[in-house]
Amino acid sequence: MNAAELLAGTRVVPVVVIDDPNAAVPLAKTLLDAGLRAIEVTLRTSDAIEAIRNVAAEVPDILIGAGSLRTPDQIEAARAAGAIFGVSPGSSSRLLDAVDEAEFPFIPGAITPSESLALLDRGYDLQKLFPASIAGGVPYLKALGAPVPEVSFMPTGGISSDNAAEYLALPNVACIGGSWIAPQALLADRDFDAIGKIAVSAANLANAG
């Protein structure tokens, strides 16, 4: 199963930066209870792999992904910890070869039409667009959809409750991602009530879109 199939119907993916691996399990449960079915833990902190391992073991109903993947070693570590999909802000042939070999559901990143077409050639019809708002946001995605209609995107970067619906309304946006649902400050305070409220709004957005 590829990432597009795995995430079919999932419209909002919380992207999290974990500083405390013990926060990952209550966070994943909070998101799931709110109606969100996937989480992307970014490999930007030393605790990210342990966080993925904890979630995979204790919250099996959530689709647990590893984000910010940049090297084959990270792919191996994420898979070994239990990640069932991976996301990268970009791609390299080394990375794509490793993903192919592992048959790991993967969302590589593209910004330009050439990057997007190169990934489409390798079979990726779901691609990440990061940093979405800086790359041009909703108007840019609209423009990309005209010459490259086969590709669906997961934009992330600069998405919030204020603009999420605009992204979700685009025909070439399969899902959106972002850290606004579980911001680091709320995670540091272990304020899962506040995260839960944001997550419910995000899940409602997803249902409405």
Span interacting with ligand 3PG, options 52-60, 113-121, 150-158, 193-201, rule CB under 6 A? 150-158
- Look at residues 77, 76, 31 and name the one whose alpha carbon lies nearest to residue 178: 31
90 lines the binding site for ligand 3PG (CB under 6 A) = no
Selected binder of ligand 3PG within 21, 86, 108, 178 (CB under 6 A): 178
Lookup: tokens for 134: 């800086």
User: 29 catalytic, yes or no?
Assistant: no
Q: What torsion, rounded to 10 degrees, do the Cα atoms 135, 2, 179, 72 define?
A: -80
130 lines the binding site for ligand 3PG (CB under 6 A) = yes
Asked whether the beta carbons of 48 and 23 are under 8 A apart, the reply is: no
15 lines the binding site for ligand 3PG (CB under 6 A) = yes
- Exposure string of 64-73, with b = 16+ CB inside 10 Å and e = fewer, is bbbbbbeebe
Q: How far is the CB of 81 from ligand 3PG (least distance, A)?
A: 18
| CB closer to ligand 3PG, 15 vs 148 | 15
Determine the residue type at 109.
G
| CB closer to ligand 3PG, 15 vs 63 | 15
Selected binder of ligand 3PG within 156, 163, 173, 182 (CB under 6 A): 156
Q: How many CB atoms lie within 10 A of CB 162?
A: 8
14 lines the binding site for ligand 3PG (CB under 6 A) = no
Span interacting with ligand 3PG, options 25-33, 56-64, 178-186, 199-207, rule CB under 6 A? 178-186
| CB closer to ligand 3PG, 112 vs 184 | 184
Lookup: tokens for 208: 């409405």
Enumerate helices (H) and strands (E) in the chain, giving the number of each.
11, 8
| Three-class SS state of 194 | helix
Beta strand pairing call for 85-87 and 106-107: parallel
Marked catalytic residue, from 29, 40, 76, 101: 40
45 lines the binding site for ligand 3PG (CB under 6 A) = no
Catalogue the active-site residues.
Answer: 40, 128
Q: Which residues bind ligand 3PG (CB under 6 A)?
A: 15, 42, 67-68, 130, 156-159, 177-180
